[in-house]
Amino acid sequence: MSVLIIAPGLKSEWWASELSRHDPDLEVCIWPDIGDPNAVEYALAWKPPPGALATFTNLKVVFSLGAGVDHLLTDPNFPTRVVVSRVVDPYLTAGMREYVLLHVLRAHKNQPALDQQQRDHIWDDRAHELRQADEQTIGILGLGELGHNCAVALAALGFDVAGWSRTAKDIAGITCFDDRGGLDAILGRSRILVCLLPLTPETEGILNADLFSKLPKGAHLINAARGGHLVEENLIPALESGRLAHATLDVFRSEPLPDAHPFWDHPQITVTPHNASITDPRSVARQIVDGMACSARGEAVPNTVDVKLGY
Ligand code: NDP
Ligand code: OXD
């Protein structure tokens, strides 16, 4: 049995050594140096070249090296017969919680506008309305591993938090909405909107002019999910009309964000380089080795996704 690492741009050697640390008997190969393709039963993948995974006819499980699996399922030749497992890891969840808390608190304290006052040498302590935390309404799109955790952490700081998911949820201290019918309701109450949805055909382009028009005027947007959620050309008009006050974006349709992209220099946009949270091989390699052992024993692999739903 051999394990393929197919993650161009990631530290494949580091992943190989972490796998071997947990199971010294594994035969690990790194794309494109693959030996016998028929021997490959398991793959660790991050943005593999389209079509590449289809060439491994004995592949049983693909382990996404992130929480998202859109980078696999958007490949038209992805072998849908294989099991797909994704990262669910306490460090990944903590990293996202820290990112969301940081940028929600920045929005809550009007920090983006205060940064502009500093650049303009303006001392004005009354220019921006400050709210108490319990008057600040936050909406989280996606109440899965990451969204649920962020919602609970924000509620613990005293914020008025709501969340939206595909299926109904009941989470203590969080106002839960579901399905398309619940979307307008959460938008209407969210002064700070955080997107933590998976990118699927259902959610592609969800952050658009129509959605912005349903938020309270002057809302803040935080997108830490996928660039494909945002209709990019709708964002700057929404910011410049005052419909949105600020957008914090970690993810983009094209990454790295092209040098000439207007988001880089816009004063109402904060850009971070898709590092809201990062998979740590030291912790995740253990999960993957255990997942391969489950598959070899004929047991269910943990953290699998529903390929038809796309997450
Ligand atoms: P989960 O699969 O655990 O959660 C997804 C949530 O979205 C669920 O609550 C699900 O609803 C909801 N959802 C899915 N489709 C719909 C829909 N059509 N309408 C309403 N709700 C929907 O994912 P995670 O929380 O682990 O991760 C979310 C995303 O975050 C990842 O897919 C990835 O794209 C992104 N990410 C970004 C990182 C970064 O560094 N920027 C790092 C890690 C992840 P239900 O609960 O009903 O199934
Ligand atoms: C992920 C990511 O999906 O880092 O984990 O984007």
Indicate which residue of 274, 282, 286, 297 is catalytic: 274
pTM score, two decimals?
Answer: 0.98
Residues 123 and 57 in one domain: no
Nearest CA to ligand 1 atom 33: 68
- CB-CB contact of 75 with 291 (8 Å): no
Ligand 2 geometric centre to CA of 302 (Å): 18
pLDDT digits (tens, 9 = 90+) for 81-102: 999 999 999 999 999 999 999 9
- Residue 301 is assigned to a structural domain of this protein: no
Residues 106 and 53 in one domain: no
- Residue 304 is assigned to a structural domain of this protein: no
Residues 63 and 39 in one domain: yes
- Residue 213 is assigned to a structural domain of this protein: yes
Q: Does residue 207 surpass a pLDDT of 90?
A: yes
Position 180 confidence tier, pLDDT thresholds 50, 70, 90: confident
Q: Which residue in the block uniquely carries the two structure tokens 């592609």?
A: 204
Q: Does residue 226 surpass a pLDDT of 90?
A: yes
Residues 96 and 218 in one domain: yes
Residues 113 and 193 in one domain: yes
pLDDT digits (tens, 9 = 90+) for 2-35: 999 999 999 999 999 999 999 999 999 999 999 8
Segment 157-169 shows an average pLDDT of 98
Residues 12 and 125 in one domain: no
Segment 43-66 shows an average pLDDT of 97
Mean pLDDT of the chain: 97
Residues within 6 Å of ligand 1 by CB: 66-68, 92, 96, 142-147, 164-167, 196-200, 202-203, 224-226, 250-251, 274, 276-277, 311
Q: Does residue 174 surpass a pLDDT of 90?
A: yes
The whole-angstrom separation of Cα 224 and Cα 227 is 8
The ligand placed nearest to the CA atom of residue 196 is 1
List the one residue out of 251, 226, 194 whose CA is nearest residue 310. Answer: 226
Ligand 1 geometric centre to CA of 258 (Å): 26
Residues within 6 Å of ligand 2 by CB: 66-68, 87, 279
Ligand 1 geometric centre to CA of 226 (Å): 10
Residues 249 and 215 in one domain: yes
Residues 244 and 254 in one domain: yes
Segment 167-183 shows an average pLDDT of 96
Q: Does residue 204 surpass a pLDDT of 80?
A: yes
Which domain CATH number covers 164? 3.40.50.720
pLDDT digits (tens, 9 = 90+) for 248-262: 999 999 999 999 999
Q: Does residue 1 surpass a pLDDT of 90?
A: no
Residues 56 and 37 in one domain: yes
β-strands 61-64, 40-45 pairing: parallel
Ligand 2 geometric centre to CA of 31 (Å): 20
The whole-angstrom separation of Cα 45 and Cα 48 is 6
Predicted local confidence at residue 198, as pLDDT: 98
- Residue 182 is assigned to a structural domain of this protein: yes
- Residue 232 is assigned to a structural domain of this protein: yes
Ligand 1 geometric centre to CA of 118 (Å): 36
Residues 106 and 45 in one domain: no
Residue 172 is part of which domain span? 91-271
Active site residue 71: no
Q: What percent of the chain has pLDDT above 90?
A: 97
Predicted local confidence at residue 274, as pLDDT: 98
Residues 35 and 45 in one domain: yes
- Residue 303 is assigned to a structural domain of this protein: no
Active site residue 97: no
- Residue 310 is assigned to a structural domain of this protein: no
- Residue 305 is assigned to a structural domain of this protein: no
Indicate which residue of 220, 226, 229, 246 is catalytic: 226
Looking at 83-92, 123-132, 197-206, which range is the least confident one?
123-132
Burial 145-174 (b: 16+ CB within 10 A, else e): bbbbbbbbbbbeeebbbbbbbbeebeeeeb
Residues 97 and 42 in one domain: no
Tally the domains of the chain.
2
pLDDT digits (tens, 9 = 90+) for 280-302: 999 999 999 999 999 999 999 99
The ligand placed nearest to the CA atom of residue 303 is 1
Predicted local confidence at residue 139, as pLDDT: 99
